[in-house]
Structure 1
């Protein structure tokens, strides 16, 4: 594939409520550092801003971020604001609330329902927006999210938030949220190596809700990135198409359903181009079965 000519629109589109986005988006977490949040060394600021602008040029109109994506010297929201404001009308910026970090970067107790407004307002301030397009409530081990999601629904009614979603959630959490307000997306960990989210994948399809996997390339490496030796099956499919293993992983994710959106993150311009190009890669049924055997045999 000629990666440099491929637009994010090639992967198709999906509606987040009344907002149409291309199914290949961009996750901003890695812009703040090479590893998890305040660990690692951030990429060059100019390069990070360049990656964001190039993403939009390539047709990306769905960017995932959070106020707690920051390192000692970088804030994902501030980078997005610097790179992309004033924002294009069709650009959808998705944030999440719930987790909390102090100024040194250490995790503190997750937000109470009455603290969620402060987190929403912090995202608004950092991004320079008067409302947030979509806010995901990150589930932090609660059995019930009704009180937290109800607090966000009030902010939606007040006009601070346009649409709501949930993250790190189980089917019971989706049912609880839907009793309170419409849910337009579920953002969960899901990848070739972590197929345990199939139940939520199917539930979202049944309800017409976007399913947005995170760590879809990193797999077991999670925030630290891809740390494993790549599976033979992935390498074989990559060789057959003349693409990278990461592109195969993204293509597999996108072929799990038309409601599935990918938000791969990177601070490197060449990786960005490759990620967007993965939206044009179509895997055969035989290749999908070969790749699915990874998940079925994974512990």
Structure 2
């Protein structure tokens, strides 16, 4: 295993840096299943693990419940070395309709439900999907610490936080991972990445392909650097966008989602692309394109 392509989450869970997200296994607006036949999603999850993926990122509200249940159906009993990351703290009530739910009793119930769906005794990485502005941060993280002490959570993560929030959270609990929006065009969270690098915190960039815009060729005319580098490598723009993330920082762990076996293979092949310093400099100039979309 190429050590440049691995990272140890929380210092105890070594993973290949290019993983698989499960948002692509559910329907539009993260509602219901993507495939009418769940065996297609089961086969894709198994294909990913067979190809060497050791980090699966999911969430209780993908579906809701659907993605976690598919992960368990496909991969349980989990092979040694496979890390399952999930999220709680958000309740989805319809396609693209959700609300934050970070009260201690809600987080405890969500964690227990994820354990049941994933058929696990311990959640490798449990990420607070959003900080609840109506609940003190100390109460939310204190609840996760209680769950950690009870053996239900191995490592704690946060989703969509500012650098200031991350710094404050680190004073309250050991934070092993952050999941923020970040890609070759959207680097608004550069300060969060800098803090993660300084503290050895995993950074799982969500929408690493700009919600598909960087993979489907729908980049704007000003993004000729991306298409030019892709052409030089005989690769797709999506592969170059993922390769850039892997080169950008050793703490970046992209987990692109897909429901397509061909797209999965294409994504995973990005780890074999070696970008030159000149190519990296060209791609670095793409910051600020604004291609990503909020969840």
Q: Fold conserved (TM > 0.5)?
A: yes
The Cα shift of 1:11 comes to: 5.8
Residue 71 (structure 2) pairs with residue 77 (structure 1): no
The Cα shift of 1:203 comes to: 0.5
* Change over 3 Å in CA distance of 1:78–1:238 after alignment to 2: same
User: For 1:16, which of 9, 34, 45 is the aligned residue?
Assistant: 9
* Change over 3 Å in CA distance of 1:125–1:39 after alignment to 2: closer
User: For 1:42, which of 29, 35, 44 is the aligned residue?
Assistant: 35
Q: Residue deviations 1:172-218, cap 9 Å, x none?
A: 22122211221111110001121111101110000011111010112
CA–CA distance in 2 between the matches of 1:24 and 1:64?
Answer: 11
CA–CA distance in 2 between the matches of 1:257 and 1:234?
Answer: 18
CA–CA distance in 2 between the matches of 1:103 and 1:297?
Answer: 30
Provide the secondary structure at the position in 2 that maps to 1:213. coil
Equivalent pair of 1:193/1:298 in contact (CA under 8 Å): yes
CA–CA distance in 1 between the matches of 2:37 and 2:262?
Answer: 15
Q: Which moved more, 1:137-146 or 1:165-174?
A: 137-146
> How many correspondences in the alignment?
287
Q: Residue deviations 1:231-260, cap 9 Å, x none?
A: 322111110000111100000111111111
User: For 2:219, which of 212, 216, 229 is the aligned residue?
Assistant: 229
* Change over 3 Å in CA distance of 1:42–1:209 after alignment to 2: same
Written as runs of structure 1 = structure 2, the 5 A alignment for 1:279-298 is 279-296=271-288
Partner of 2:249: 257
* Change over 3 Å in CA distance of 1:168–1:243 after alignment to 2: same
Q: Any stretches of 5+ residues in structure 2 without a counterpart? A: none
CA–CA distance in 1 between the matches of 2:260 and 2:55?
Answer: 18
What value does the CA root-mean-square deviation take over the aligned residues?
Answer: 2.5
Partner of 2:129: 138
Q: Which moved more, 1:289-298 or 1:80-89?
A: 289-298
Partner of 2:111: 120
Written as runs of structure 1 = structure 2, the 5 A alignment for 1:233-248 is 233-248=225-240
* Change over 3 Å in CA distance of 1:39–1:85 after alignment to 2: closer
TM-score (structure 1 length as normaliser): 0.88
Residue 83 (structure 2) pairs with residue 89 (structure 1): no
TM-score (structure 2 length as normaliser): 0.89
Equivalent pair of 1:193/1:219 in contact (CA under 8 Å): no
Equivalent pair of 2:4/2:250 in contact (CA under 8 Å): no
